[in-house]
Structure 1
Amino acid sequence: MDWAGASAAALLVFAATVVGVLWRPLGVHEAWVAVAGAVAMAVAGSVDWLRVASIVHETAPVLVFLAGVLVLASVADRAGVFAWAANWTARMAGSSVRRLFVALYVLGAVTTVFFSLDTTAVVLAPLVVRLLRRSRVDPLPFVYLSVHVANVTSLLLPVSNLTNLLVQARFRLPFWEFARVMALPALLAGAADFGMLYVLFRGRLEGAVDTQDLQLQARALGRSPFLRWSLGIVVATIAGFGVAGWLGAPLWPVAVAGGAASALLALARREVLPGFFVRSISWGVIPFVVGLFVVMDGFRATEAGRALTAAAFLPGAAASARPAAGGAWSQEAGMGMAGGLSSAAGDAVSLGRLAAVTAVGSNLINNIPMTLLGTGALAVPPGGYGPPDRLAPYALLLGVNVGPLLTVVGSLATVLTLALFQQRGINVGGWEYLKTGLLVMPPTLAAAYLGLLASTWWL
């Protein structure tokens, strides 16, 4: 197959994979769509099988970490940790709908920071429906709360979002440096997002919540030894992440230890059968990540992929970037574009543009493909990043984490949360979501961006 044909095939596979992941034709899980795209890329010759093996090796620490956290969160959910926390949160808020709105945002933020936004998506939506079921309260503000808190507050730690893990691994960002740099952007973005939602929905936060049985539920759950032991393992694992980050050690052994301890606890107490760890855990995220990595790698290797990446991330680069003789992209051209990106990312305007481009792109092709595209475009300069260039990966994360507030397909957590509410009879249309997103996303992204610029003091 000639270069033009290979490029066209890779572009077609990339487009089909992104569409398939977002729309899941015939109900096919997005993981198998991504795997099919990866196989098609390899068959088309856009990615050789050695490169596929290399991608699996490169992503192994992230995937093992995810496996450990998936087991930990699933057992904690089975033990009632999240239900217990939600009941106590609602009970402390009393019957006030407005106080409940504030309390659930805080609960969602804590869950997202330490367990990832996907856990918040799976856990918070059913809990919100259960809390409001017996009350005459408009559920719409709480739908937006569930989606927004999962995306916005995922900025803080590497463990808060798969996009964070991918960027941290790609640029070798130390755990506590990540937390220091992202602390102010996460705080300002969360405050802006919550403030905008509260103002927009203040008139809908009326009525009272029926709290009659919340205290009894919380106390009943709190007496469970399984819950107490599971909660202890969760707290120990979170503390282990902090210690590992402080020592500069990898996080995956801590996640594996926490997941293994939770699994042994559940099996020893006969709370679950072995089949639970096959049927009740979303293992599809692992082939999904590998498949998307392969698809994006094949897309970036083509002329179209290079041109589109350059046009998106570096104005004028697309015109100067040309394939070398024989159709292959020259190392010199790649290094020149990488150097330009590294230099351009240093000033405030370029950081803002990078955040804006990735925010818009996340709503076109979803934030995980956008993250992979962005990490490929931002090359690591020789000797590593230094201030202020080191802020470029963080600017990328602002866009892919906050950007999905705009459309219903911006992130898989958004798709999953809205689907869970829809299953329970609460629907939010794409146009309605977009209108709210146009009001909330830009000021939230701007707040996060200003926080990032202020973070130069930490560097």
Structure 2
Amino acid sequence: MLLLLTALLLAGVLAFAVARPKGLPEAVVAVPAALLIVVTGLLPWRDAVAEIGELGPTVGFLAAVLLLAHLAGEHGVFRYAGALTARISGHRPTRLLAAVFVAASLTTAVLSLDATVVLLTPVVLATAARTGARPRPAAYASAHLANSASLLLPVSNLTNLLAFAASGLTFLGFAAVMALPWVAVILAEYAIFRWFFRADLRAPARAAEGGTDPAAPRFALVVLALTLAGFAVAQPFGVHPGWVAAAGAIALAVPKRVSPKVLLREANLPFCAFVLGLGVVVLAVREHGLDRLVDALVPERTGLLQLLAVAGLAALLANLVNNLPATLVLVPAVQARPALLLAVLIGVNVGPNLTYVGSLATLLWRQILHARDHPPDAGEFLRLGLLTVPAALVAGVLALWVSLRITGN
């Protein structure tokens, strides 16, 4: 009965986060639900405080990297990326798709999936219009790669950060193991995109009149490069990546003289509160029986079949309850076995490309396309997901299995 009650609370929190009536922040329901769980004794307050303390540094990094991505956009990094993409494409739709894949993959890996969805997607749409290509392939690519291209670095996705501390890997060690799965997943996605959107890619491009290309934002690009290097250098010294991201954001904010009000707004503190509230609600569901159920489903061995099974379970759970709660549920069950933990990440990062509700980033992408008069088709999104998700999961897990043997992890 307690499991059912806490599960209903979790369902309510997620339903509100998906629907966001009147544009209200996700925290409007998540925070009161977490307080209700503690007040009613469904979760001891000490456990809730401990969970918030454990999630705090990760949520702090989330705020810092959202700010870093916004300031990079203010410096013109994404406008420059769009102009460079258009130039590389040569007004050929197939080359444009390849260039978007590269730009979105790198943006997701370095600046997280939120930067790809919020800042790169509008640039991708504008670039398609500028080159005269049909926008659907590039627009869908930004959504898919915001999820699946987030496998490379611990800082690429909130799910990665939640699992990174439990993995026992260093920053560079994580990147070394996940580099091959990252490439394999992106190539699998690209091959299917080329086939699925073959009619759009064959259509002749009619380039619009374009202005002059923006100059390269050298200062911002140098700061971003140093920030990325800082993630790798600082981690062995026990410095959390959130401090590195904050330093990079400050360096970008000073020349623009950004007001504190704007900094607070772009750090998206309501969403950070949502993540903390969601963590407390998920912990209550786990402690009232979900942990035992998940433990029974997770295999003990770490062979190829077991890795595939765990990735499939993670992908399924991500589409049932969203990938963030799925990560919070699965990480404790597999943290003693790093190979299974990394397979979980493939599942929760690739799996959300199947349905809109798989990740909050996909829901945000959908809102952005509606706002720019390019509404995605739910049936088309599902059909594309049915092709890409199984293929990318298998490719990613096979590559992970090989990578684990190469690196000796």
User: What TM bracket, shorter-length normalisation?
Assistant: over 0.9
2:242 alignment partner, one of 235, 242, 252: 252
Alignment partner of 1:210 is 2:202: no
Write out per-residue CA displacement over residues 328-364 of structure 1, whole angstroms, 9 at most, x where no aligned residue.
xxxxxxxxxxxxx5xx142222211100011111111
Deviates more, 1:258-267 or 1:348-357: 258-267
Deviates more, 1:26-35 or 1:413-422: 26-35
Match of 1:287 in 2: 273
Change (3 A) 1:134 1:64: closer
Is the 1:354–1:396 contact (alpha carbons within 8 Å) kept by the matching residues of 2? yes
Tell me by how many angstroms 1:247 deviates. 5.5
Gaps of 5+ in 2: none
Change (3 A) 1:429 1:43: farther
2:78 alignment partner, one of 77, 82, 85: 82
Change (3 A) 1:391 1:70: same
Structural mapping, 1:151-300, within 5 Å = 151-205=147-201, 206-208=203-205, 210=207, 212-213=209-210, 216-219=212-215, 222=216, 227-245=217-235, 249-267=239-257, 272-300=258-286
Find the residue that maps to 2:260 and give its secondary structure.
coil
Deviates more, 1:122-131 or 1:15-24: 15-24
Tell me by how many angstroms 1:140 deviates. 1.6
Is the 2:167–2:338 contact (alpha carbons within 8 Å) kept by the matching residues of 1? no
What amino acid sits opposite 2:205 in the alignment? Answer: A
Structural mapping, 1:56-95, within 5 Å = 56-95=52-91
Is the 2:25–2:271 contact (alpha carbons within 8 Å) kept by the matching residues of 1? no
Alignment partner of 1:50 is 2:50: no
What amino acid sits opposite 1:309 in the alignment? Answer: V
Change (3 A) 1:162 1:188: same
Structural mapping, 1:283-432, within 5 Å = 283-303=269-289, 305-310=290-295, 313-314=297-298, 341=299, 344-380=300-336, 389-432=337-380
What amino acid sits opposite 1:53 in the alignment? Answer: V
Is the 2:63–2:267 contact (alpha carbons within 8 Å) kept by the matching residues of 1? no
Write out per-residue CA displacement over residues 264-287 of structure 1, whole angstroms, 9 at most, x where no aligned residue.
3321xxxx3332213344233311
Aligned residues: 406
Find the residue that maps to 2:115 and give its secondary structure.
helix
Tell me by how many angstroms 1:52 deviates. 2.0
Match of 1:338 in 2: none
Cα distance in 1 between the residues matched to 2:31 and 2:269: 13
Is the 1:97–1:209 contact (alpha carbons within 8 Å) kept by the matching residues of 2? no
Cα distance in 2 between the residues matched to 1:164 and 1:229: 28
Tell me by how many angstroms 1:367 deviates. 0.5
- TM-score, normalization by structure 2: 0.93
Cα distance in 1 between the residues matched to 2:236 and 2:8: 44
- TM-score, normalization by structure 1: 0.83
Write out per-residue CA displacement over residues 125-155 of structure 1, whole angstroms, 9 at most, x where no aligned residue.
2112222335653222122111111111100
Cα distance in 2 between the residues matched to 1:241 and 1:82: 22
What amino acid sits opposite 2:278 in the alignment? Answer: L
2:98 alignment partner, one of 98, 102, 111: 102
Cα distance in 2 between the residues matched to 1:65 and 1:24: 24
Question: What is the aligned-residue identity percentage?
Answer: 37
Cα distance in 1 between the residues matched to 2:265 and 2:237: 36
Structural mapping, 1:122-133, within 5 Å = 122-133=118-129
Find the residue that maps to 2:96 and give its secondary structure.
helix
Change (3 A) 1:409 1:11: closer
Tell me by how many angstroms 1:209 deviates. 5.3
Is the 1:402–1:445 contact (alpha carbons within 8 Å) kept by the matching residues of 2? yes
Match of 1:322 in 2: none
What amino acid sits opposite 1:258 in the alignment? Answer: G
What amino acid sits opposite 1:356 in the alignment? Answer: G
Match of 1:327 in 2: none
Tell me by how many angstroms 1:291 deviates. 1.1
What amino acid sits opposite 2:197 in the alignment? Answer: F
Write out per-residue CA displacement over residues 165-221 of structure 1, whole angstroms, 9 at most, x where no aligned residue.
00002334321111111111111111001111011112211222526535x1323xx
Tell me by how many angstroms 1:248 deviates. 6.1
Change (3 A) 1:213 1:82: same
Change (3 A) 1:228 1:286: same
Cα distance in 2 between the residues matched to 1:173 and 1:273: 38
Find the residue that maps to 1:427 and give its secondary structure.
coil
What amino acid sits opposite 1:241 in the alignment? Answer: F
Change (3 A) 1:86 1:135: closer
1:452 alignment partner, one of 378, 385, 400: 400
Write out per-residue CA displacement over residues 17-65 of structure 1, whole angstroms, 9 at most, x where no aligned residue.
2222222244322233322321222123122222222122212221222
- The two structures, once aligned, show a CA RMSD in angstroms of 2.0
Cα distance in 1 between the residues matched to 2:301 and 2:278: 25
Change (3 A) 1:35 1:180: same
Cα distance in 2 between the residues matched to 1:282 and 1:248: 26
Cα distance in 1 between the residues matched to 2:286 and 2:121: 37
Is the 1:176–1:245 contact (alpha carbons within 8 Å) kept by the matching residues of 2? no
Deviates more, 1:191-200 or 1:55-64: 55-64
Find the residue that maps to 1:217 and give its secondary structure.
coil
Is the 1:300–1:309 contact (alpha carbons within 8 Å) kept by the matching residues of 2? no
What amino acid sits opposite 1:234 in the alignment? Answer: L
